[in-house]
Amino acid sequence: MPTRKCKSSQQSYNQQAGKCLTPATVRRHVVNGTKPKSYKGPITETGGGLTKGDLTRKVVKGTKQVKYVSVEKQATATARYNAPDSGFRAWGDAVKLARKELKIKGFVPVGGETQEGKELVAKVRSLLPAKKAKTKKKKEGPFRIPYENESSTRTKAQQNRGKLVSKKVHEEWVKSMFTE
């Protein structure tokens, strides 16, 4: 029995249905898919392993541009910005207040070459709270405990390999070595 010719090259004749059918689109697993393709297209995940559930659609303020970003990264960035000690938010608020006080309208680069830009950056810096001096903490560790069954047949490189542990565990191990 001769097969029937369909209108579209993508369609094929199905004898059970008795008509030409277009095959359903199948989502492909591609290792290096982009975020937009993974969000709305036929690709299941991005190169980093993000699926449609891990991505969200974000419209950039002031433009019609759309970005697809990780839900987790967006939540982290929002929490950082909304934190009470956020320097980024403090800078933005200081710029808004300085522009209002100096009655600046339109585009003026903060710290630009113009006189307005230089006044603006000076005002912003005066409005910002003073920074606290950071004290560096001395890093401790990592501490290594050698393998218990170190035999003479092992090479120096193998003997030097050990388990990294905390300072407390290392001190206990040292005590146990010298009390026996």
Q: What's the CA dihedral at 150, 154, 155, 156 to 10 degrees?
A: 10
Per domain, the residue ranges of the chain are 12-74, 87-125
User: Residue 163: what pLDDT?
Assistant: 57
- CA distance linking residue 96 with residue 120, whole number of Å: 10
User: Residue 138: what pLDDT?
Assistant: 64
The C-alpha R_g of the chain, in whole angstroms, comes to 32
Sign of CA dihedral 122, 127, 128, 132: positive
User: Residue 105: what pLDDT?
Assistant: 93
- Residues lower than pLDDT 70 in the chain: 1-3, 25-32, 131-166, 180
**19 SS3 class:** strand
Residues 20/7, Cβ–Cβ less than 8 Å:
yes
Residues 42/26, Cβ–Cβ less than 8 Å:
yes
User: Residue 9: what pLDDT?
Assistant: 74
